[in-house]
Amino acid sequence: MVKSKILRVFLTLFFVLFISSILVAGTNFQDLEVDNQEDSFYSASNASIRPFNLNYVSFDPIKIINDSNFTDYGFPGYGNITHPYIIENYLINETDENGISIVATTKHFLIRNCFLQNLYRGIYIYNIANGTALVEQNYCTENTWGIYIRNATSAKVEDNVCTNNVYGIQVRYSEQVLLRNNTCNFNVYPGLVVENCSSNTVTNNNCSFNEDYGIAVSESQLSHITNNFCYSNKYGMISKGSDSSVVNGNICNNNERGIIIWYSPESIVFNNTVKFSTGGRFHDGEGILLGYYSSNSFVSNNTCYGNIYGISVFCNNSILKHNLLQENQFFGIRIEEIESKEFSFNNIIYHNYFIDNNINGHEDGRTQAFDFSKTNLWYDSNTKTGNWWSDIGLKCKYKISKVAGIVDLYPLNKVNFCLKKLLPTIIVPLVFIAAIVVLIKYPLPYFCK
């Protein structure tokens, strides 16, 4: 009788211990959703193509090379900031010249609602006084350049349509230029180019179906490239040689590559959506490419969905956090060696969400990320928090690369107990209890006789 009571007590303790271990175990699973529906080209930009103005006045090319030419043409206005000279409602086409040329002036002017077709440059502005140019609501098509601006600090270029040109809009050697709400589609080369400038703002433009880049910003530090829509170009957008620039809130879908940061250290890339980058003959189809010598950059809160690779990193000392990497064909994030054959090093990757990337497997296995250097951290060492992995299962660590033996030590959704920790905390006590039970049932009764 005493023996059976002791046995029941130990079996009860065993059952309580086992149930407690099951209840403690769990995952910090978070309900993550992404809109898998491709953004509509027609609804994603407020810079839609406007209908033609039926009241255009046919006119010869306009050439202004000094301030007095504004009055020579009889344009209305006084040339000041409140009453600029106004050039509007003209149809200029079928010539090898520039449609409207304004060079070396100091007066304020507005070019508005003109139709410029089959010209060398639809609108050409060069070497004018700061803050004197406003170009808006013009339609430029079948030109070599739709709009070309050089040495025109603080010019404003808004609500223009530049389609089926060789180049859509190009701005060079100018500062603090505003390019807003323009539509640059179906051009042979980039839809919109900013080159050798600084502190410019490129915002709310629709640059789609171009045979090269949608938007190309080159050698233009402190640029703000925000809330643009780049759909079905060869490349969505590039910031090249443009230190300390901000790339924010853009949608770049169905390009061969989405967003490219190249030779642009201290860039901030956040809150962009990049989907369905398809890749090409000489490149890999990244949603976001943080390229050579773009070190000390910050990449955060981006959504990379359905690309070949989500984010590729070829630079050092950068932070990648709070990005959603979902259903990319290969790795959600990959870190490769840089051009000099050195590894990309000292990057920190944490609080990113990896969902169903690389599901068909890669040469490095089915892991959702890849890293060739042990110098990168896949967690925040201060808070001891890593990334969220949809395929972590019952593991307490996530293997990044089997080649380099790199792991995320602190996954956000790891289970509260690990199989390796199970041995000393649960298995050993269970074995001890089982040994006592066996002792009670067999040797103990023998010695008690």
Range scoring the smallest mean pLDDT among 52-56, 341-345, 417-421: 417-421
Q: Which pLDDT does position 189 carry in this prediction?
A: 97
pLDDT higher than threshold 90 for residue 405: no
Largest CA distance in the chain: 128
pLDDT > 70: what percent of the chain?
78
The mean per-residue pLDDT over the stretch 84-94 comes to: 96
The residue written with tokens 């400038």 in the block is 197
Task: Copy the structure tokens of residue 219.
Answer: 């050698």
The mean per-residue pLDDT over the stretch 265-280 comes to: 96
Q: Which pLDDT does position 60 carry in this prediction?
A: 96
- DSSP codes, 347-404: -EEES-EEES-STT-BTTBS-SEEES-TTSBSSBTTTTB--EETT-TT-SSEEEETTT
CA gyration radius for the chain? Answer: 31
* Amino acid at site 403: V
Alpha-carbon distance 363 to 368, whole Å? Answer: 12
Range scoring the smallest mean pLDDT among 28-42, 49-63, 228-242, 334-348: 28-42
Q: Which pLDDT does position 15 carry in this prediction?
A: 47
* Amino acid at site 415: V
**Buried b or exposed e, range 138-168, using 16+ CB within 10 angstroms:** bbbbbbbbbbbbbbbbbbbbbbbbbbbbebb
Range scoring the smallest mean pLDDT among 138-152, 163-177, 234-248, 353-367: 353-367
Alpha-carbon distance 205 to 55, whole Å? Answer: 26
Alpha-carbon distance 144 to 164, whole Å? Answer: 9
Reported as a pLDDT band with limits 50, 70 and 90, residue 373 is confident
Q: Which pLDDT does position 124 carry in this prediction?
A: 98
Helix (H) or strand (E) holding 429: helix 428-441
| More confident of the two residues 157 and 39 | 157
CA neighbor of 305 nearest in space, from 268, 253, 231: 253
Alpha-carbon distance 142 to 138, whole Å? Answer: 13
pLDDT higher than threshold 50 for residue 24: no
Range scoring the smallest mean pLDDT among 1-15, 110-124, 168-182, 306-320: 1-15
The pTM is what? 0.85
- Sheet of strand 348-350: strand arrangement: 85-88, 109-112, 133-136, 156-158, 178-180, 201-203, 224-226, 246-248, 268-270, 298-300, 319-321, 348-350
Q: Which pLDDT does position 47 carry in this prediction?
A: 41
Give the tens place of pLDDT for each residue, 9-22.
444 544 444 444 43
Q: Which pLDDT does position 296 carry in this prediction?
A: 97
Sign of the dihedral through C-alpha 70, 73, 75, 77: positive
pLDDT higher than threshold 80 for residue 390: yes
pLDDT higher than threshold 80 for residue 422: no
* C-alpha distances out from residue 10 to 59, 313, 399, 432, 447, Å: 102, 57, 40, 11, 20
Q: Which pLDDT does position 150 carry in this prediction?
A: 98
pLDDT higher than threshold 60 for residue 41: no
**Average model confidence (pLDDT) across the chain:** 86
Alpha helix (H) ranges present in 79-234?
none
The mean per-residue pLDDT over the stretch 419-433 comes to: 57
Task: Copy the structure tokens of residue 331.
Answer: 């790795």
Alpha-carbon distance 115 to 110, whole Å? Answer: 14
Reported as a pLDDT band with limits 50, 70 and 90, residue 5 is low
Contact 215, 202 (CB under 8 A): yes
Alpha-carbon distance 58 to 351, whole Å? Answer: 59
